[in-house]
Amino acid sequence: MRGKWWVVLGLLVLGVGVALGQEFPRQETLYISGAAWGPPTDWNPFITWSKANTSGTVGLIYEPLFFYDPLKDTLIPWLAEYGQWKTDQLFEVKLREGLTWQDGKPLTAADVVFTFELGKKYSTIYYSPMWDYLASVVNVGDYYVEFSFKRKPLYQEFVNNLYNIAIVPKHIWETRTEEEITSGANANPIGSGSYKYFAHGPDRNVYIRNEEWWGIKLLGLKPAPKYIVEIRFATNNLALGALLKGEIDLSNNFLPGIATLAKLGYVKTYLPEPPYMLSANTAVLFLNTTKKPLNDPAFRKALAYAINVDAIIERAFAGLVAKASPTALLPHLAKYVDDELVAQLGFTYDPAKAKAILAVAGYKDIDGDGLVEAPDGSKIYLEVTCPFGWTDWMEAIRVISESAQAAGINVVHRYPDYGAWNTALVTGTFDMTLNNWASLSNTPWTVYNLLFNHPIRDVMGSGNFGRYNNPEVFALVDELAATPPWDAEGVKAVCAKIQEILLTDLPMIPLWYNGLWAQYVEFTWTNFPGAYGGRPHWLPCTWAGYWQMGGFHTLCELKPAQ
């Protein structure tokens, strides 16, 4: 048949030109999924927004000075042997001796200095704002780096950067132009890490273990899998199917129905009982405070009481998430929550109270349709949105609109496409929308910087989407950023002030903790992390930025199943 020749021809076209190729032995390969949302495009550690698609770039291929363990809230010295504050404006890092790049060249203090100075040289490097307070980064010999500051640094941001900025080799990057550095693909990356780039396809990334990795000797750590194949499934159901069949070992996708499967023992999760998952970030309902009636604190408060968070957790997440603290802080930062304040000002689901607050503030149902009108008699119509296709959130905002309607507030849910949603979000043309863009970190500053990002600009790209304008809280967030990490009491005191404003004014409503989705099957690899049965305690997560927060250590704990 003629048709068959076409097939053969098509296949030949596919095969030609790809010289390198092989099959990975199952016993030596770890299959994971859940990090990438698009095809791999670059291995450039300076393009941060695309790192989800090649999440191993930072943590596996390139490494920062420190790792961070959110479960213990401690920094783990990595390329650095230690770091210490010599004065409150001078930070010294001592590098380990015997670090090497994957091309065999030694990694020295000069590489660290080069990396940080890129931020001084180019404003387009994401950490260039550091240089507002950074005076100089200099190396003393091959192993010591001194960070000196012009003024009191933003400690919280600085520490965060220590475990996020990947050190790059000077001898490779120094000849590149600004454009290459800030938007080049950096194919065939040479880092210092435990894994090397091996191959990629539109739906996968493959890493191979670096047998010459410095850490094998200096840290006594060796990750178990020789190959890591990270797969991007087009839909969650495919990831679920592959996991149940043991085709992938670790899934960091949000998988519906996992609670049931975990209960029956088909999959393992970090926690043995609901919510099964650790918390990764806080889902916050942003309210557009420039619009009526959302500019009225009483109305916002009523809304907070009207939303049935338990129903969201049950229906949209099948019990896989936990209710958020009204302060928006994640559980591992609970020591910065002012419990007294929460007891006094915190909100819970209480439709009767919501109605009472509305009545007192003058919102009454005039036309008898069961929905209140504004005090000036105008009708209320608010839309709550999330991008189409974000299925769990789609269900969540359905619950939000339903429970608001039940309390007499006319809220309607809408699912615009991602682009339209994003435009509305950053330009402040939405009414109410969900967002969770503050990732797990070492400091409460991260989430408060999302909630109260400032100053208010035309395009609010990284927080405060509802354009809540309160100089008092902005000053507090700046103060928090500048509070030294060793001053836990100081951090707590500033947090309490921020929390008081948050809870009184409710410019946005923290609802639940989005989970650190992680489920595993142990057909090929065992000893995945867990809070039970002698399992190791690490975040079992392969998302971008999480390799250095437990993901890599998870690899080191794995054992082959026999």
Q: Pick out residues in 458-477 that bind another protein (CB under 8 A).
A: 459, 461-462
Task: Give the nearer residue to another protein in terms of CB position, either 7 or 475.
Answer: 7
Candidates 107-115, 125-133, 359-367, 485-493 — which segment interacts with another protein by CB under 8 A? 125-133
Nearer to another protein, 98 or 257 (CB): 257
Stretch that binds another protein, among 97-105, 249-257, 359-367, 537-545 (CB under 8 A): 249-257
Give the pairing type, strands 144-149 and 134-140.
antiparallel
Question: Which helix (DSSP H) or strand (DSSP E) does residue 279 occupy?
Answer: strand 278-287
Q: Which is nearer to another protein, 124 or 295 (CB)?
A: 124
Q: Yes or no: say if 413 and 439 are a contact pair by the CB < 8 Å rule.
A: no
Residue 140 in contact with another protein, rule: CB under 8 A: no
Q: Does 398 bind another protein (CB under 8 A)?
A: yes
The 3-state DSSP class for residue 322 equals strand
Q: Does 531 bind another protein (CB under 8 A)?
A: no
Strands 29-33 and 250-251: parallel
**Cβ proximity to another protein, 128 vs 136, nearer residue:** 128
End-to-end, the C-alpha distance of the chain in Å comes to 47
For 76, phi then psi, to 5°, come to -110, 115
CB of 134 to another protein, least distance (A): 15
Tell whether residue 560 is a contact of another protein (CB under 8 A).
no
Ranges of beta strands (E only) in 305-381 are 322-323
CB nearer to another protein: give 236 or 443: 236
Nearer to another protein, 245 or 364 (CB): 245
Shortest distance, position 524 Cβ to another protein, whole Å: 12
Closest CA to 90 of 137, 130, 162, 147: 147
Residue 363 contacts residue 382 (beta carbons within 8 Å): no
Are 507 and 538 in contact by the 8 Å Cβ rule? The answer is no
Q: Is 2 in the site for another protein (CB under 8 A)?
A: yes
Where in 289-318 is the site for another protein (CB under 8 A)? 315-316, 318
Cα 355 from Cα 364, distance rounded (Å) = 9
Name which of 107 and 255 has its Cβ closer to another protein: 255
Number of residues in contact with another protein under rule CB under 8 A: 86
Smallest separation, CB 353 to another protein (Å):
24
Q: Which stretch binds another protein (CB under 8 A): 149-157, 188-196, 254-262, 339-347?
A: 254-262
Q: Look at residue 321 and give its three-state secondary structure.
A: coil
Q: Is there a contact between 145 and 112 (Cβ–Cβ < 8 Å)?
A: yes
Q: Exposure pattern of 340-359 as b/e (b: 16+ CB <10 Å)?
A: ebeeebebebebebbbebbe
Which of 141/201 has CB closer to another protein?
201
- Determine, following the binding rule CB under 8 A, whether residue 231 of this chain makes contact with another protein: yes
Site pattern 375..394 for another protein (x: CB under 8 A): -------------xx-x---
Question: Between 98 and 241, whose beta carbon lies closer to another protein?
Answer: 241
**DSSP for 187-255?**
-S---SSSEEEEEEETTEEEEEE-TT-HHHHHT----S-SEEEEE--SSHHHHHHHHHTTS-SEE-S--
Pick the binder of another protein from 83, 106, 129, 536 (CB under 8 A). Answer: 129
Q: How far is the CB of 403 from another protein (least distance, A)?
A: 12
Rule CB under 8 A: which of 41-100 touch another protein? Answer: 41-42, 47-50
CB of 439: closest distance to another protein in angstroms?
Answer: 12
Print the binding letters for residues 417-436 with another protein: x by CB under 8 A, - otherwise: xxxxxxx--x----------
16: Cβ–Cβ under 8 A, 6 or more apart, which residues?
none
Q: Find the binder of another protein among 87, 175, 202, 352 (CB under 8 A).
A: 202
Alpha-carbon distance of 268 to 528, in angstroms, equals: 8
Here's the x/- map for another protein, 329-358, by CB under 8 A: it reads as ------------------------------
The stretch near another protein (CB under 8 A) out of 87-95, 201-209, 515-523, 529-537 is 201-209
Alpha-carbon distance of 176 to 534, in angstroms, equals 48
For another protein, the binding residues in 166-195 under the rule CB under 8 A are: 179, 182-185
The single-letter DSSP state of residue 267 is S
Pairing of strands 432-435, 382-385: parallel
CB 184 within 8 A of CB 509: no
Is position 29 an interface residue for another protein (rule: CB under 8 A)? yes
